[in-house]
Amino acid sequence: MKEPMLRKAVIQDIKAIHRLLQEYGNRGDLLPRPLSQLYDHLRDFTVATDTSDDRIIGCCALQFCWEDLAEIRSLAVNPDQLKKGVGTQLVLNAIAEAKSYKIRKVFTLTYRPAFFEQFGFQKIDRSELPYKIWGDCILCVKFPDCDETAMMYKIEQAIHPD
């Protein structure tokens, strides 16, 4: 496969994004999102596509939370495309997008902290995050016993892998 192409998601991508997120959600590796919520947040999503057939092979959302804070969420890569740099491209794209909006901090809640550490994310206590972000948590099957790791990326001090 050639290098995947990244682009902003379009309405026709939502069902493929939903299937990808559901696959990881069913395994307990990601918190799934309802289809209606994906439509509500379409503009947050970037997709990675296989350039040979335009098939969606990954997705990532950058959701703005506050004037200087955004969240990387719903990062998923098709299992047959793992270890090919797709997730790395999606995260770097989300960070670049955050920078373009003058966002100073990006956080994530993840089951894969080692993946995010390579970009300069650091583990933080969940209490450092604003209350506003916990609205989605109430809907989670794991609430209030969250087992995700909270991580923060400070754009002005960040390190980018080669």
Q: At residue 96, does pLDDT exceed 90?
A: yes
**Strand 122-123 vs strand 149-154: parallel, antiparallel, or unpaired?**
antiparallel
What's the confidence (pLDDT) of residue 145?
A: 58
Dihedral (Cα; 64, 66, 68, 70), 10-degree rounding = -30
Using the 8-state DSSP alphabet, how is residue 41 labeled? T
Q: Out of 1.20.1250.20, 3.10.110.10, 3.40.630.30, 3.40.50.150, select the CATH number for domain 5-157.
A: 3.40.630.30
Instruction: Summarize pLDDT for 9-28 with one digit per residue, the tens.
Output: 999 999 999 999 999 988 87
**What pTM value is reported for the model?**
0.87
Answer for the pair 68, 104: CB distance below 8 angstroms, yes or no. yes
Instruction: Summarize pLDDT for 49-67 with one digit per residue, the tens.
Output: 998 888 999 999 999 988 8
> Domain segments of the chain: what residues?
5-157
What's the confidence (pLDDT) of residue 69?
A: 94
Rounded CA separation 57/19 (Å): 11
Instruction: Summarize pLDDT for 121-156 with one digit per residue, the tens.
Output: 999 988 787 755 655 555 555 555 567 888 999 997
